Amino acid sequence: CHSVVSVKPQLHSVSFPVAEKKKTELCQELSLQARDLRFQHSTSLTARNNCIIIRMASLKAILTPQSLLVLDFRGLGLDRWLVLELAPQLASQSHSLPFEFRALEAVLQHKLNTLQTRLNDVEPVILDTLESLVDPKILSADRSKLHILLQNSKSLSELETDIKVFKDSLLKILDEDEIIEELCLTKWTDPRVFEESSLGIDHAEEMELLLENYYMQAEELGNKTRELKGLIDDSESVIFINLDSHRNVMMRLNLQLTMGSFSLTLFGLIGVAFGMNLTTAFEDDPRAFWLVTGFMFLGSGLIWRRLLSFLGRHLEPSILRPVRKTLSSVCFSYHSKSLHRSVHAVSSL
């Protein structure tokens, strides 16, 4: 049992009689077959026995030459559309063409607005998320943003499919002139109105223009979604390069420090050796302490410097030279100057 609102244009207004009708009643009334009102596909637009049967997702409608019957309109946000948008569009008399043109235009415009709205919802979120994800300062991708991106690119895929289905259903009609002719209801039902209203205007041609117009608008939407998908792909590449770059920079720093630690360990071994409880000839030489200590620090510094320059030559860096310089300057200031002064320097950091 369907709740049916039949939108009928009157002289200056539009009436909205609502009725509860059974499917069979509807069929009898419009002399359609039960099969015609199954609305099996999510998007369809077919002419049957001087009615146009339309389904655009949640909107199910039957268009007769006199009225537009909207089925199951409750609770799907269609109520607002019926009153706020459909009524004014159908009431406007500016249109020189018969009712079915105005009604079909309203329905297709509604579908296109729905698609556009979905794109408008998804696009800024994706652009914002990508903007913050490709930020080169970011060391690691924000995980919640990745989740948002995934959700929205899923929505985008669904939108893409829906646009494609909408385009295909229009294209199928545009490809067959007979179906276009069938869609011009007034031409067949009311020859008098047809002749009057259309002095020199070919209804079928007008219908083709109307459908083509919406086809091209859907195509533009489709182009936008495709560009957005491409942008997501490109951005993902940039995110990967960014993360990899950060990793390389950190690995280089790590390697530089490992080189330093290696040098210190190597020369520290001398200190360890002199710390053994074994007899050396230097126990009582007062200069030995300073000589060996100096050699330890100086030697490890020089080896580190040599390793760093080896790494520098090996990787031929371009940006990272300063890093190395900063590090080694920090380090060498400790043994070239006296210890007291360097303590001073450090405490003033």
Q: Which of residues 230-289 bind a second copy (CB under 8 A)?
A: 230-232, 234-255, 257-262, 264-269, 271-286, 288-289
Interaction mask 47-86, a second copy, x per CB under 8 A: ----------------------------------------
Min dist CB 91 to a second copy, Å, is 18
CA–CA gap between residue 346 and residue 349 (Å, rounded): 5
Min dist CB 177 to a second copy, Å, is 13
Residue 179 in contact with a second copy, rule: CB under 8 A: no
How many residues belong to the site for a second copy (CB under 8 A)?
Answer: 119
CA–CA gap between residue 248 and residue 255 (Å, rounded): 10
Contact 98, 28 (CB under 8 A): no
Nearer to a second copy (CB atom), residue 16 or residue 262: 262
Nearer to a second copy (CB atom), residue 193 or residue 268: 268
Nearer to a second copy (CB atom), residue 5 or residue 126: 126
Residue of 149, 170, 184, 218 interacting with a second copy (CB under 8 A): 149
Contacts of 78 (CB under 8 A, 6+ apart): 58, 59, 70
Residue 180 in contact with a second copy, rule: CB under 8 A: no
The residue range among 1-9, 85-93, 186-194, 299-307 that interacts with a second copy, by the rule CB under 8 A, is 299-307
For 46, how many CA atoms within 13 A lie in the half-sphere containing its CB?
14
CA–CA gap between residue 256 and residue 317 (Å, rounded): 13
- List C-alpha distances in Å: 77 to 6, 58, 162, 335: 17, 9, 19, 78
Q: What are the DSSP E strand ranges found in 270-334?
A: none
Min dist CB 337 to a second copy, Å, is 14
Closest CA to 196 of 102, 98, 68: 98
Residue 192 in contact with a second copy, rule: CB under 8 A: no
Q: Which of residues 10-49 bind a second copy (CB under 8 A)?
A: 40-42, 44
How far does Cα 66 stand from its chain's mean position?
A: 43
Residue 125 in contact with a second copy, rule: CB under 8 A: no
